[in-house]
Structure 1
Amino acid sequence: MSKVQKTVLILAALVALVIGLTVYKVLMVDRGPNQAELLDAGIVLLPQPREVPDVTLVDQDGQPVAMDELDGRWRLLFFGYTFCPDICPATLAELRQLRGMLPEQARDALQPVLVSVDPNRDTPEQLKRYLGFFGPEFVGLTGELDAIQTLANSVGIPFIPADTSQENYTVDHSGNLVIIGPDGRQRGFIRAPLNNEKLAEQLPALIGSEG
């Protein structure tokens, strides 16, 4: 084999290697976020996105919000209440911390939402005062108990309504978060307790897979 032929073969091998690496990179991007790493971070995606019910709630500014019309951003729904003694303030503080750990693009694309499981006490005004401690990007929703229960049951986060006749009553509820995609459909859950270090690594990949 001549020197020229050897050179041609070497160049051909290099070209094939470059093409192979490019194809591999494209395939890996197309696969999206690593499912095992998402699970390790507590992120559980549904096999298929799930529609949310067409209930209408009220935000902290007193404006109606149709849940089946939410779109344009990723949202993390947390079903809690402002008089909660432990889980709720801790979770909202963790969400505030998590937002600060995300890169700007992911942070801007993600909105935390507190859906009250205690509409008896959580008026829009109360939600606004309470969420002011966590940041202006936090949204609060309240409304009729039946509508809130319909939403909670539909997204797999049921709660037990409280006996509001009791003084200083509490509400039994979950600490899990509901992931709503930019198309307004439920994509999955984030399991409690939150692991902010791992979530900060995985959420940008999840959000970026549909940017």
Structure 2
Amino acid sequence: MTRTQITVFVLVAIIALVLGLTVNKVLTSQGQGDPAALLDAGIVLLPQSRSLPALSLTDQDGEAVAIDQLKDQWSLLFFGYTFCPDICPATLAQLRQLQGQLPPQTLSKLRIVLVTVDPNRDTPQQLKKYLEYFDAGFIGWTGEQATIQKLANAVSIPFIPADTSKENYTVDHSGNLVLIGPDGKQRGFIRAPINNTKLAAQLPALFERP
């Protein structure tokens, strides 16, 4: 390699480094954070946000909910059920603890929703009673099995509907959380098992996004 080629190579490397640092600074200043740190916290962002389907469910107060109108706050959707023996109570307890680790400004932007995968047993009344054990501010959704299945498929959180003819049946479902932005679109996922310490460090900056 000639001296000229070496000089050009060094200049290109320096320019690339400067551009890289500049882009990183811009991303950080816009609240996008460090992608590696987000992944380490289990936060997987989609390359492009995804619209939610125009479906209707019922909340724990018996009120109709338009799924595609879930806006104004960041939302964490957890697909589970109240008769779950392990994953669901553990996850909801962690989410309650996570709220206590977030600064008030971040907490005010957060909505936590349990979407039941067991509408056969999870009536609005059952959801309300169950969620109050964890946090009175938690929201519960129930509805027709087919509608819940459509929502789960739309946000890539599959579950296997149970054989409700069996006594004390269980439902196979994912422990991942769906991340919905304040624009009502899916922004990504939070992988299970969740790590409250890492999430508490990353969510404040993430929630600064519009």
Q: Deviation digits for residues 72-122 of structure 1, max 9, x if unmatched?
A: 000000000000000000000000000110000111100110000000000
How far did residue 137 of structure 1 move?
Answer: 1.4
Rg comparison, structure with higher value: 1
Secondary structure of residue in 2 paired with 1:208: coil
Return the alpha-carbon distance in structure 2 between the equivalents of residues 189 and 42 of structure 1. 8
The unaligned stretches of length 5 or more in structure 2 are 1-22
Residue 114 in structure 1 maps to residue 114 in structure 2: yes
Equivalent AA in structure 2 for residue 148 of structure 1: I
C-alpha contact (below 8 Å) 1:33/1:209 kept by paired residues: no
Return the alpha-carbon distance in structure 1 between the equivalents of residues 30 and 133 of structure 2. 40
C-alpha contact (below 8 Å) 1:176/1:192 kept by paired residues: yes
| TM-score normalised per structure 2 | 0.87
Which residue in 1 is equivalent to 2:147? 147
Q: Deviation digits for residues 16-72 of structure 1, max 9, x if unmatched?
A: xxxxxxx98656413722111000000000000001111100000000001011100
C-alpha contact (below 8 Å) 1:115/1:140 kept by paired residues: yes
Return the alpha-carbon distance in structure 1 between the equivalents of residues 159 and 169 of structure 2. 14
Report 1:73-112 matches (<5 A).
73-112=73-112
Equivalent AA in structure 1 for residue 106 of structure 2: A
| TM-score normalised per structure 1 | 0.86
Which residue in 2 is equivalent to 1:196? 196
Return the alpha-carbon distance in structure 2 between the equivalents of residues 188 and 27 of structure 1. 18
**RMSD over equivalenced CA pairs, Å:** 1.8
Residue 137 in structure 1 maps to residue 172 in structure 2: no
Secondary structure of residue in 1 paired with 2:118: coil
The unaligned stretches of length 5 or more in structure 1 are 1-22
C-alpha contact (below 8 Å) 2:31/2:205 kept by paired residues: no
Alignment length (residue pairs): 190
Identity %: 68
Equivalent AA in structure 1 for residue 51 of structure 2: E
Residue 127 in structure 1 maps to residue 130 in structure 2: no
Return the alpha-carbon distance in structure 1 between the equivalents of residues 150 and 197 of structure 2. 33
* Structure 1 segments (4+ residues) deviating >6 Å: none
Equivalent AA in structure 1 for residue 42 of structure 2: G
Report 1:61-80 matches (<5 A).
61-80=61-80
Return the alpha-carbon distance in structure 2 between the equivalents of residues 167 and 63 of structure 1. 29
